[in-house]
Structure 1
Amino acid sequence: MALSKSIIRQSHFLGTKVRNLRKRNHLTMEDLSARCIRINPEYAPSVSYLSMIERGKRVPSIEMLKVIAQVFQKDPNWFLDDQPEAVDITPNKGSRGGITGMALEPGFLFSEEILQIAIPEMLSQTGISGRQFAQLLIRAHQESLKNHFPDLERAAENIGQKQLNLTVEDLIDIAHHLGLRIHWFSEASTEIRDELGLKANRLVTSYFEPPGSIYLNELMKPYPTRIKYDLAVYIGHNILHSKEGCKTVLSIGHTNSWEEAYGEAQNYDINSIDMLKAWRDFESSFFAGALLCPKVPFRQLLDRNGYEISVHEKVGVSPSVAMRRMTAVSPYPYWHYFDAYGEGKLKAVYRGNGIPLPWGNMRKVKDPCQHWAVFRQLATPKAGSSAQISLLNVGDEPRIYCCESVNVTDPAGNSRVLCAGIDLNPALEAQGWDALQIASSLKEACIHGGGGAKIPEPIHQRLTTIAKILNINWIERGIAQDAQLICSRGGVCPRTPNCYESGKEKKK
């Protein structure tokens, strides 16, 4: 096909393709512009014009497109809409979180005005509240940054002076120094039913009334780790934001929604106030973890104790706080964290290593994978370590994960399972080994073993080496167990026979 003299109507994916090609070839805009100048200085794009092309703000002339195409050794027609291969128009996110990226093309459909109209309609039709959508955006941002927020870390260190094992009295003193007053109230837990019909005990642990009153539930006195967390959250809110804007209720149950705590109806609209409140709550929660487990001292403690979950007892925090902080302070960046409270119900999620979400709690999934360690532990509590090596396809490639799960009962009496894990493929590659080949071999062994298999000795030795390099004790305990095949949904179950009837029918 001859290149059209008017390419405007065929250029919706052009900018995305140029940007992705440039990044995959490790070129900056300055590099690409310079390369184009060497080919044809008359039609070469400047850096600023190239930026506008990539953002869909400008369409290059046919002559300029030919120059760009020559740099990448492509036919100019390849850049047009007739050949929008998914791999060419999908941003390369690498391992930056578990949410798959998409190209915002055609650009005019993703204008600010259109999104402002379409997002509320989408929320209304899917039953997602504005608050939930705000939290989803924040989680994607958190995962893209690998849970690193140095400004929040520094703010917490300035207040806590990097002290480990702050007591309740220490935190009350900090609160008093900030002009906050502590009050006590008594309120028993109530039984609630979530949107999927699952029963739970809801207990309001504390609330804040502007301008400076913290109210703590007396029922929390036997649970100092929870009191410390709540106090740290309010301290963070007052350090980072104004006291007048901190109207917050903290509770224990299946969700942490302030809307439900206040008894407010679900709101499917979204506005700037929703975003601001959700972001401030996230910042205050992260600040609380950083105050209770300051980065350098906590990392050193984890290193001395081989990243055992039980280290939370030495710091005087809950297992949840300690495990979430592992994902932020560890020098190894490829972590994930789950908090499960029922079959297929996840309360908190962090996926800094790109692990696909098994299934969430917004909608009921009929074919959940029953072999994820966090849900196996929930269904059948296991004494001692619950470390597991898992094989999971991410895209079309198998990856090796290891995690440790622990059973906990919260102060309201609800049973939960907390799970912290890492992606082992990057660690294998760092030693110069072919991680994909190792994962593929282990996957085949598990398939032949009906879904689980003893780890072959050569792979066992390499994983043991990785465990010692990373200094994570539960990796060695996981290696001692059979590796397990897991999947994101039963419909893509790799086991033979398939775990689900629907999967068997598909195979037939």
Structure 2
Amino acid sequence: MKTTNSLNRQSHFLGTKVRNLRKRNGLTLEDLSSRCVKIDPEDAPSVSYLSMIERGKRVPSEGMLDVIAQVFQKPLHWFLDDANEEKEITPEKGSRGGINGMVLEPSFLFSNDILQIAIPEMLSQTGTTGHQFAHLLIRAHQEHHQNHFPDLEKAAEKVGQKRMPLSVADLLDICKEVGVKIKWFDEPSQDVIDSHGIQSKHIVRSYSEESSVVRINRALKDTPEKLKYDLAVHIGHKVLHNSDGEKNVIASDNRNLSTLKPEFNKTRDVSHLDSKHILQAWRDFECSFFAGALLCPKVPFRQLLDRHGYEISVSKLIEVSESVVMRRMTAVSSYPHWHYFDAYNPGKLKAVYRGNGIPLPWGNMRMVEDPCQHWSVFRMIGIPGNTPVAQISVLNQDGVPHIYCCESVKVKDMAGNYHVLCSGVDLNPALEAQGEDAVEIATALQKECVRKGGQCEIPYKIKQQLLTVARILNINWIERGIENEARVICARGGMCPRQPRCYKEKSLVSNA
């Protein structure tokens, strides 16, 4: 017989295991409690007690744990710390995107008090700024919800009345309606050098000067699609937050932090972690999402994409930037398995969304010197011209090969810096929806690429299978990608598939 103290010392993963078992079996807390009552009414936990067990707030008695174990047909020792497989305690992600999380156990080490002390120390030791950490939190939240924020969509639709396209004049009228006053200023772009000694251009496009007053760089008049976006962001700042909070600044350069002006830096010091800066970063995200929803309302925009096969060129039809179109695709499409990158040379990701959980070609908290050059988003940086390029890629995700297709295009920002925008989809779920064995198909394509040195023409049978899902998804650039050679790509630059040790048959699964 185990004592209560004995269980206490062996039950740090117990709550997580119970929760994961319950969710994987499709049971609610009420369902599990009632099934326990059927087995033993006296030792059965109530719904509220089960909730506390799952959150690590209570340790069940041996009798209660035995009842739970009987429901799931598990031996009692399976729930204790020493009986531990990684999948038993990995948080259930379900259909959500992003990468798998880690279990926050033992709960006493992951308490709010301890995390509040440990996170700033961790950021300090790794050189991660509070600003970068804020954007990592936001990205995780965005991916967890698969870019669905209905309250922001509704707020934008109420203001724009689902009109599309909105002209500059329309947006200026909306500014008047919501009480935003526009003032213009003149300021050219300037040369800047980042912490890595890389030179680029920087320009402040617009900023909120004071309550309900927004200053717009007159240079934006030459690029209506960028002017419209800035106006939409500041409308969002007014509608969502009544222009409260820190100054909302929009600038163009190759860094995650866009402000250089001393008066802006005083209000947005990013060298340390501060809850106010986390909140401001979240408000910036809300205003940006609102702007996309205002310019591309969900239903009309989805219908436009359907009519044109998700071509990026629809940006010209409604006079918005390619960036807005490609980001909005991930939010309005009925197919949830999208990713989006915004990359600057030589190896900086300024924006990331991974609703399909695709590994990163490189991180956006540091510059990577040797990213795998066969990612489309990286190759495009060095290719002349701005013609969109579609690519089929095979990449391991959690040890399983996935087939991705993306469309990448090189564009200039307002300051004159070239960067690459990339939108893509994971085709494995679409293949599985058609009754195909997606892993088998991806493995076969991966092996053929490896056999040919890292890239190959797609075999006829696989081409037909991919063509079927391309037409079902109604995404034209998947069909274009199928006509090009498929490429093996890697999540780590030091393991590029063009290096012999990476594409030998024996290391295909672990390293490709």
Q: Which TM-score band applies after superposition, normalised by the shorter structure? A: over 0.9
Aligned to 2:209: 209
How far 1:83 moved relative to its partner? 2.5
The answer to whether 1:231 aligns with 2:231 is yes
Matches within 5 A, 1:29-178: 29-178=29-178
Opposite residue 265 of structure 2, the aligned amino acid is G
> For the residues of structure 2 that align with 1:417 and 1:499, how far apart are their CA atoms?
27
Opposite residue 370 of structure 1, the aligned amino acid is Q
> For the residues of structure 2 that align with 1:417 and 1:137, how far apart are their CA atoms?
24
How far 1:417 moved relative to its partner? 0.7
Opposite residue 399 of structure 2, the aligned amino acid is D
Aligned to 1:312: 315
How far 1:412 moved relative to its partner? 1.1
Instruction: Please tell me whether the aligned partners of residues 428 and 466 of structure 1 are also in contact (alpha carbons under 8 angstroms).
Output: yes
Deviates more, 1:88-97 or 1:8-17: 88-97
Opposite residue 213 of structure 2, the aligned amino acid is S
The answer to whether 1:438 aligns with 2:450 is no
Aligned to 1:403: 406
> For the residues of structure 1 that align with 2:187 and 2:500, how far apart are their CA atoms?
51
Match of 1:454 among 440, 454, 457: 457
How far 1:115 moved relative to its partner? 1.1
> For the residues of structure 2 that align with 1:131 and 1:113, how far apart are their CA atoms?
21
How far 1:456 moved relative to its partner? 1.4
> For the residues of structure 1 that align with 2:333 and 2:255, how far apart are their CA atoms?
27
How far 1:53 moved relative to its partner? 0.5
> For the residues of structure 2 that align with 1:454 and 1:76, how far apart are their CA atoms?
53
How far 1:380 moved relative to its partner? 2.3
CA 1:65/1:245 → structure 2, altered by over 3 Å: closer, same or farther?
same
CA distances 1:420-451 after superposition (whole Å, capped 9, x unpaired): 00011111111111111111111111111111
CA 1:267/1:418 → structure 2, altered by over 3 Å: closer, same or farther?
closer
How far 1:4 moved relative to its partner? 5.9
SS in 2 for 1:468: helix
Instruction: Please tell me whether the aligned partners of residues 336 and 351 of structure 1 are also in contact (alpha carbons under 8 angstroms).
Output: yes
CA 1:444/1:113 → structure 2, altered by over 3 Å: closer, same or farther?
same
Aligned to 2:294: 291
SS in 2 for 1:243: coil
Deviates more, 1:232-241 or 1:406-415: 406-415
Opposite residue 183 of structure 2, the aligned amino acid is H
Instruction: Please tell me whether the aligned partners of residues 52 and 58 of structure 1 are also in contact (alpha carbons under 8 angstroms).
Output: yes
Opposite residue 426 of structure 1, the aligned amino acid is P
> For the residues of structure 2 that align with 1:46 and 1:453, how far apart are their CA atoms?
59
How far 1:496 moved relative to its partner? 6.1
Aligned to 2:390: 387
CA distances 1:344-393 after superposition (whole Å, capped 9, x unpaired): 21111111111111112322435421111100111224664410001010
The answer to whether 1:369 aligns with 2:372 is yes
Opposite residue 459 of structure 2, the aligned amino acid is P
The answer to whether 1:9 aligns with 2:12 is no
CA distances 1:388-413 after superposition (whole Å, capped 9, x unpaired): 00101001111110000001112211
How far 1:482 moved relative to its partner? 1.1
SS in 2 for 1:7: helix
Aligned to 1:488: 491
> For the residues of structure 2 that align with 1:429 and 1:449, how far apart are their CA atoms?
26
> For the residues of structure 2 that align with 1:375 and 1:356, how far apart are their CA atoms?
14
CA 1:258/1:347 → structure 2, altered by over 3 Å: closer, same or farther?
closer
Deviates more, 1:165-174 or 1:395-404: 165-174
Instruction: Please tell me whether the aligned partners of residues 33 and 45 of structure 2 are also in contact (alpha carbons under 8 angstroms).
Output: yes
Opposite residue 350 of structure 1, the aligned amino acid is Y
SS in 1 for 2:33: helix
How far 1:268 moved relative to its partner? 3.7
Aligned to 2:265: 263
Opposite residue 351 of structure 2, the aligned amino acid is A
> For the residues of structure 2 that align with 1:3 and 1:488, how far apart are their CA atoms?
46
CA distances 1:305-339 after superposition (whole Å, capped 9, x unpaired): 11111110001001001110111111111110000
Instruction: Please tell me whether the aligned partners of residues 184 and 218 of structure 2 are also in contact (alpha carbons under 8 angstroms).
Output: yes
Unaligned 5+ segments in structure 2 are none
> For the residues of structure 2 that align with 1:373 and 1:29, how far apart are their CA atoms?
45
CA 1:495/1:47 → structure 2, altered by over 3 Å: closer, same or farther?
farther
Deviates more, 1:264-273 or 1:385-394: 264-273
> For the residues of structure 1 that align with 2:289 and 2:397, how far apart are their CA atoms?
28
How far 1:254 moved relative to its partner? 1.2
How far 1:266 moved relative to its partner? 4.8
Aligned length: 503
CA 1:387/1:296 → structure 2, altered by over 3 Å: closer, same or farther?
same
How far 1:215 moved relative to its partner? 0.9
Instruction: Please tell me whether the aligned partners of residues 385 and 477 of structure 1 are also in contact (alpha carbons under 8 angstroms).
Output: no
> For the residues of structure 2 that align with 1:352 and 1:209, how far apart are their CA atoms?
35
Q: Percentage identity across aligned positions?
A: 62
Deviates more, 1:102-111 or 1:490-499: 490-499
> For the residues of structure 2 that align with 1:240 and 1:247, how far apart are their CA atoms?
14
SS in 2 for 1:309: coil
CA 1:63/1:491 → structure 2, altered by over 3 Å: closer, same or farther?
farther
Aligned to 2:196: 196
> For the residues of structure 2 that align with 1:179 and 1:3, how far apart are their CA atoms?
68
Matches within 5 A, 1:331-342: 331-342=334-345
SS in 2 for 1:387: strand
Instruction: Please tell me whether the aligned partners of residues 209 and 246 of structure 1 are also in contact (alpha carbons under 8 angstroms).
Output: no
Instruction: Please tell me whether the aligned partners of residues 447 and 495 of structure 1 are also in contact (alpha carbons under 8 angstroms).
Output: no
> For the residues of structure 2 that align with 1:302 and 1:293, how far apart are their CA atoms?
11
CA 1:244/1:3 → structure 2, altered by over 3 Å: closer, same or farther?
closer
How far 1:144 moved relative to its partner? 0.8
Match of 1:300 among 298, 303, 313: 303
How far 1:112 moved relative to its partner? 1.0
> For the residues of structure 1 that align with 2:239 and 2:88, how far apart are their CA atoms?
45
The answer to whether 1:282 aligns with 2:300 is no
Instruction: Please tell me whether the aligned partners of residues 248 and 258 of structure 1 are also in contact (alpha carbons under 8 angstroms).
Output: no
CA 1:244/1:362 → structure 2, altered by over 3 Å: closer, same or farther?
closer
> For the residues of structure 1 that align with 2:293 and 2:217, how far apart are their CA atoms?
24
